[in-house]
Structure 1
Amino acid sequence: MTLQLLLAYSLITWLTAATPGPAVLLALRNGATRGFRAGLYSTLGNQIGLLLLAGASILGLGVILHTSAWLFTLVKWVGAAYLVFLGWRMLRSRDGLDLGSATQGDAPPASDAQMLRLGLWVSLTNPKAILFFGALFPQFVQPEQPLLPQFATLVSLSVCASVSCLLTYVWLASRARRWLQRPRAALWINRVAGSVFIGFGLVLAGLRRAPA
């Protein structure tokens, strides 16, 4: 894989991990209500879920890459549309971060095992993660090169980005809960992230498939 491709994937992965979603809301709630330990175990469960989603993507990725050019192009446009959609939704969002909605109002679990299972469930049902590994992941794999090293590199980057972002949210939430709930702060974050995602979507739409 080229350095340019790795840098582009790393940036998109970090932005995806840092933007508000079910996993981020869970991290914020855990940090604000249960402390760092609870957030650590739910983050671990979230990473197990990401590995399962990545594995599912890997099992079907070879077929997409080696079937036909039009199918690869279709996947590319789905990925671009996903980025633009995320950006558009963020730009339109004017809501603050609801720390109480991460688990549909359920009380935070008390045990480490419960927190781990909760993080796993949130990850496996997270539309952002599902669409990321199903639509964007294939765009950064070069079919003319060995697939396994590329998968290992990309998945490792995804896990590193997710762990660092979620644990940062856990740590910050206990110290900045009131600020996170302010609509003005959420609006600023959504505007910046939304603009960046739309830009990356347009760039992705213009990429050409490398010849096999």
Structure 2
Amino acid sequence: MSFNTWLLFVVTVFFVSATPGPNMLLAMTHGIRYGVRHTLPTMSGLLVGLGLIMAGSAAGLGAVLATSELLFAVIKYAGAAYLIWLGLRTWFARVEAPAVAETDPQLRDASWQQRFRTGFLVSMSNPKAFIFFTALFPQFMHADAPQGPQLLVLAITFYVIETSWQFVYATGGARLKHWLTSPLRMRWVNRFAGSSFMVAGVALSSVSKA
């Protein structure tokens, strides 16, 4: 892989990852509720999910999803239902929940598994991601060169950029906490985030493989 090809991949992924999607929105929302350090389990779940998606795409699952209407539909609607459920839960979340999670170590520490699981499920909720990686990575790979090293370089690059943006969103959310001392503001943030998750779920349910 030439340096110019890699640089083009960096620019592409930089802007793709920066787009506010469910993953970044979740990182920001948990940053507001728990702070950056305690959002690490959420980001770990998101990244583990992305790793499995990339591995599945490299193994050909993306191609299978592209040809199997039934499998694609099952994953699509399950993911859409989860995002809508998460949106409803966020919409109706108690406005005092962020302060409690931040100041009560027992509650905060007991819920890291749940935050990891939420990040993982959000990351895995979109079958288009499998097709995205299957379609994106080959555009930057040379067919006449060993595939493994190229996939490794692309995967590491993607992980670094994706992790950096997650930290940006989580940090932005944590800084918003000081502005969200008003219950009314917190309620509006919950409704914005909940609406965004539900819109993402509805949009996901309407996508096709093409």
TM-score of the superposed pair, with normalisation by structure 2: 0.60
State how far apart, in whole Å, the 1-side matches of 2:41 and 2:134 are: 26
Distance 1:20 1:122, change over 3 A: same
- Which of the pair is proportionally richer in helix? 2
SS at match of 1:33: helix
State how far apart, in whole Å, the 2-side matches of 1:25 and 1:130 are: 20
| CA RMSD, 1 decimal | 2.9
What is the aligned counterpart of 2:88 among 95, 105, 119? 105
Q: CA deviation at 1:128?
A: 6.2
Aligned residues: 144
Q: CA deviation at 1:60?
A: 2.1
Indicate yes or no: 2:19 matched with 1:42: no
Structure 1 contact 50–124 (Cα < 8 Å) conserved = yes
Indicate yes or no: 2:125 matched with 1:142: no
Distance 1:104 1:36, change over 3 A: same
Give the percent of matched residue pairs that are identical in Structure 1 and Structure 2. 33
Instruction: Detail structure 1 runs of 4+ shifted over 3 Å in the superposition.
Output: 107-110, 126-131, 176-179
Q: Which runs of 5+ in 2 are unaligned?
A: 64-83, 98-106, 181-187, 190-210
Cα-to-partner distance string for 1:13-45 (whole Å, 9 max, x where unaligned): 111111110001101101112211332111111
Distance 1:133 1:163, change over 3 A: same
Letter in 2 for 1:162: E
Partner of 1:73: none
Q: Which runs of 5+ in 1 are unaligned?
A: 64-100, 183-212
State how far apart, in whole Å, the 2-side matches of 1:35 and 1:3 are: 37
TM-score of the superposed pair, with normalisation by structure 1: 0.60
State how far apart, in whole Å, the 2-side matches of 1:102 and 1:32 are: 20
Q: How does 1:51-130 map to 2 (within 5 A)?
A: 51-60=51-60, 103-106=86-89, 107=93, 110=108, 111-126=111-126, 129-130=129-130
